[in-house]
Structure 1
Amino acid sequence: MTHPYIKTGQSWSFALAILLGYPIGKPARHTISFSSSGPRDDEKDLHLAGVALEAQRDFVHLTFADLEATEPSEIGMALLGVDRVHWLPNVRLFAAGDRAPLEMLHGDRRWRIDERNQLVSHKLPARHLIPRGEQVAWQRLRKMAAALADLEVVDGKLIKLGDTYRDAHDLANLKIAA
């Protein structure tokens, strides 16, 4: 048995990946990893950036306030740059419509997953569209996460603070110690 916190993180991460339009399973061009954790600080942000660099993937990360939280309190992205990893905290979700793929807003940029499975940025949508788009995005994400609440992710990994990507533990092998 694993802690319900792990299932919550998995269902929300998987729901976000689906709604962003990332392919399910192991795509031939696997460029983005989705992850979750408890509260973050500078040390944990640097660790996630290091994991992204080692894995050579961008990361979309959901932060939960504590082990009992039912939804994420923050979303961030670790994006591979030419010479560094950029950490973008406090990303906002946006949907251009009820069926449009979700996008992520940060600063003056709008991020989406393109046809090559990579995160690309564009200018923000019109300012007057953002509040409604954020509301729609969160409604859809909550609904999808609830639908996936019993999901068992087969190849999920746990990377402890300080561990490398190669040191990741298979979630299927983790057990709660009484």
Structure 2
Amino acid sequence: MSLDTVVEDIREEAHARAEEIRAEGESRADEIESAAEEDAEATLEEAEREVDREIDQLREQRLSSAKLEAKQKRLEARRDVLGEVREQVEEELASLDGNTREELTRALLEAAGTEFDAGDDVSVYGREDDRELIESILEDDAFDGYEYAGERDCLGGVVVESDQSRVRVNNTFDSVLEDVWEDNLQAISNRLFEQ
């Protein structure tokens, strides 16, 4: 065999081997590229899912926040309306006059009187505008030992006290209204805001 033939065989073998390495390299490059594309797609899909989750979470947070804000505004509006109703009731109580005012004042004074012993010196306080009314009621024999003692800042009614009994009874329109209001607030609210 000649040297040229050996060189040619080596050259062909080297060329075949180079071709084989190149084919393997291309195949490996295709595999790497394919794997990289799959990884990139998976990363992109995960990123899109994460973005969708964040969008959903943000949407839920904003919706929840908007619902809470709306609820707070409804509650504030209800409180305002209840406050206005309460003020109207107070104005109506303060403006009661004539027989109605006398009957209520007398009833509150009689109810307070059950707390005191016979013979006690009883001091009666009331609204400044009701002084004459209270003094005229106290002229009744049923209120012997009772005396008008001064004014109280209230819508009407009486505050009655005695040093001997160490008792003070607040039977003002304000205190009665407070009790009635607290006891019936839910019913008042339900009636005003029927749904």
Q: Same fold (TM over 0.5)?
A: no
Q: Report the TM range for the smaller structure's normalisation.
A: under 0.3
Higher relative contact order, structure no. (Cα contacts within 8 Å, ≥ 6 residues apart): 1
Q: Which has the higher strand share?
A: 1
Normalised to the residue count of structure 2, the TM-score between the two structures is 0.21
Q: Which has the larger radius of gyration?
A: 2
